[in-house]
Amino acid sequence: MNIIQAIQDASLFRPLFKNLDSWKSWLCILKAIFALRMDKKERALFTQLTGRETPPTQQVEECWLVVGRRGGKSRIVALIATYLACFRDYRPHLAPGERGIIMITATDRRQARVIMRFIQALINQVPMLAAMVERQDVESLDLNNQISIEITTASFRTNRGRTVVCFIGEETPYWRSEESANPDQEILASVRPAMATIPNALLFCIGSPYRRAGAMYETYKRHYGHDSPILVVQATSQQMNPCIPDSVITRAMEVDPVAAQSEFFAQFRNDIGSFLDSDSIDRSIECGRQERSPQPDIQYVAFCDPSGGAHDSMTLAIAHRTTYRTPRSAQEERDQRERPPRVVLDVCRAVVPPFSPDAVVKEFCQVLRTYHCSTVVGDRYSMEWVRESFARQGILYKHSELTASECYLEALPLFMTGCVELLDIRKLTMELQQLERRTGRSGKDSVSHPPSGHDDLANSCCGALSLCTQHRSEIHAVKFTGF
């Protein structure tokens, strides 16, 4: 039985689809994935959705669904997963006792569970399929044919030793990891070998497009519109799901046309780019150096990104500006004046939640004292408790003149001209690499972490670096007067 027959069968999946007419585009894509015959109309639709002239003649190896929000991606991959789990026999390729995994990976468990719930609904409402279930909970399901369906998060990196028959990556452009700047590429690289021993193993990546980078964009660039075992679909939400009312799209376009273009019209955004390239970050790092100890004659500046201790890390960075030696000639003096200052990061620490904010302030103040800092600068929107807590330790907490985004932009020339010395802190490097620069409607740029990412360390780091470049700040005028 092929997947289309299973959908049309009243004793199988048909009752789950109110009106099959609205699923026409998806049926066409399913036929393409499994190389099932299409009629003339379907072939035209196939071309519209994939940019390809000829449908695949054998099952594809990978299918990338670059489809707008609410387009039915999660529903359809749940259906495919269920079909594969229940109707394909993978046992000839599995050793006795070995299980073939259908793996669903998403940004977080909550998101992965959406697909899992669709799968469980599909299986449990068909008595014939429900009878195959040996065990199930909210995150996994074992069938009596050596197949298990499991959900994992995008930080999961131990696919070694497992056999994956089908991989579903949900919203790959939004995957984040503390260990990697490219979690999407790395997870896919680790899952492909786990699929190698299964003929006809299938890999799906689904998501609404985001910026022009990452695995989804790279795959789109290479395979969209080309005859290839990697099928790329690019379609608007309404092309795939005509039940979405026009009013939803119109409203989204009014609120934020750029975001709506990507969310509902499946266009990659060109207003978002990466802020720093990996090379300029890498060349600023002193390998193996995690902190620089305080020197007596240096005036340090400090920046703190406070947190209440529940969600975000609280971070502290200390930096200084190197002074050039006393010029020995007029030329050297001119050179020095023209050269941007060299800025050195001395400390960049994070305390991860949960924590008591007061205890962390106390710990940070001890560090500040060893660097002779009587002032620390921080987010200008921070709450009053922050200032009070620092004051109790004898440190003045000053609100930053610049927003976090302005600090990043202020620090940018230091990176571009190679005038910064960073520390070798993996998490900081990740955060810096993941920072995004977006151009607003007014043409003004802003810099921030990507959706569901973090920038606590990067914020403090660039806050401190920008302090070193700000002549207008009184920070430099504050002399250490002892405690």
Footprint of ligand ADP (CB under 6 A): 22-23, 26, 67, 69-75, 240-241, 243
Q: Do 261 and 269 contact (CB within 8 A), yes or no?
A: yes
CA separation (Å) from 203 to 167, 194, 261?
A: 5, 11, 26
Site string for Mg ion, 108-137 (x = CB under 5 A): ------------------------------
Candidates 268, 189, 278, 277; CA nearest to 221 is: 268
Nearer to Mg ion, 26 or 371 (CB): 26
The whole-angstrom distance between residue 132's C-alpha and the CA centroid of its chain comes to: 36
Q: How many residues does the chain have?
A: 483
Under DSSP, is residue 299 helix (H, G, I), strand (E, B) or coil? Answer: coil
Choose between 107 and 429: whose C-beta lies nearer to Mg ion.
107
Residues 6+ apart with CB under 8 A from 205: 62, 63, 64, 65, 168, 169, 172, 188, 215, 216, 219
What residue has token string 């503390």?
A: 178
When CB distances to Mg ion are compared, the closest residue is 74
Q: Which is nearer to ligand ADP, 26 or 415 (CB)?
A: 26
Is residue 331 within 8 A of residue 379, CB to CB? The reply is no
Q: Report the partner that residue 69 touches, choosing among ligand ADP, Mg ion, none (CB closer than 5 to 8 A by kind).
A: ligand ADP
As measured in angstroms, the least distance from the Cβ of 478 to ligand ADP is 53
Binding piece for Mg ion, criterion CB under 5 A, among 70-78, 153-161, 226-234, 385-393: 70-78
Nearer of residues 169 and 306 to ligand ADP, judged by Cβ: 169
Q: Could you please report the per-residue DSSP string of 78-146?
A: HHHHHHHHHH---GGGS-TT--EEEEEEESSHHHHHHHHHHHHHHHHTSHHHHTTEEEE-SSEEEETTS
Count of residues that interact with Mg ion, criterion CB under 5 A:
1
62: buried, middle or exposed (CB in 10 Å: 19+, 13-18, 0-12)?
buried
The item of Mg ion, ligand ADP, none sharing an interface with residue 243, based on CB under 5 to 8 Å by kind, is ligand ADP
| Nearest distance, CB of residue 207 and Mg ion, angstroms | 8
Span from 67-75, 82-90, 98-106, 452-460 in contact with Mg ion (CB under 5 A): 67-75
168 is written with which tokens?
Answer: 């579903």
Q: Which stretch binds Mg ion (CB under 5 A): 33-41, 73-81, 83-91, 456-464?
A: 73-81
Q: At its nearest, how many Å lie between ligand ADP and the CB of residue 18?
A: 7
Q: Is 377 exposed, middle or buried (0-12, 13-18, 19+ CB in 10 A)?
A: buried
Q: Least distance in Å: CB of 121 to Mg ion? A: 15
> Considering only residues 25, 74, 219, 469, which one is a binding residue for Mg ion as defined by CB under 5 A?
74
Smallest distance from the beta carbon of 9 to Mg ion, in angstroms? 25
Selected range binding Mg ion among 71-79, 248-256, 271-279, 412-420, rule: CB under 5 A: 71-79
d(CA 287, CA 241): 51
349, β-bridge pairs: 316
Complex with ligand ADP: residue 50 or 466, whichever CB lies closer: 50
Over its C-alpha atoms, the chain yields an Rg (Å, rounded) of 27
Q: Are 66 and 233 in contact (CB under 8 A)?
A: yes
Residues 6 or more apart in contact with residue 46 via CB below 8 angstroms: 28, 29, 31, 32, 38, 52, 55
Q: For the chain, report the end-to-end CA distance as a whole number of angstroms.
A: 80
Cβ proximity to ligand ADP: between 243 and 391 the closer is 243
Q: Kindly tell me which of 68 and 463 has the beta carbon lying closer to ligand ADP.
A: 68
59 binds, among ligand ADP, Mg ion, none (CB under 5 to 8 A by kind): none
The option from Mg ion, ligand ADP, none interacting with 241 (CB < 5 to 8 A, set by class) reads ligand ADP
- In angstroms, give the least distance from the CB of 75 to ligand ADP: 4
Q: How far is the CB of 39 from ligand ADP (least distance, A)?
A: 19
Task: Give the interface segment with Mg ion, choosing from 68-76, 358-366, 418-426, 441-449 (CB under 5 A).
Answer: 68-76
Q: Which residue's CB is nearer to Mg ion, number 71 or number 214?
A: 71
φ, ψ for residue 426 (rounded to 5)?
Answer: -55, -45
The entry of ligand ADP, Mg ion, none that residue 23 binds, CB within 5 to 8 Å by partner kind: ligand ADP
Q: Tell me whether residue 74 or residue 82 sits nearer to Mg ion (CB atom).
A: 74
Alpha carbon distance 207, 68 (integer Å): 8
Residue among 74 and 105 whose Cβ is closer to Mg ion: 74
Which of 143, 149 has the CB closer to Mg ion? Answer: 149
How far is the C-alpha of 372 from the C-alpha of 434, rounded, in Å?
32
Cβ 15 to Mg ion, closest distance in Å?
A: 22
CB of 227 to Mg ion, least distance (A): 28
Closest distance to ligand ADP from the beta carbon of 25 (Å)? 7
Nearest residue to ligand ADP, scored by beta-carbon proximity:
72
Q: Least distance (Å) from Mg ion to the CB of residue 74?
A: 3
Per CB under 5 A, residues contacting Mg ion are 74
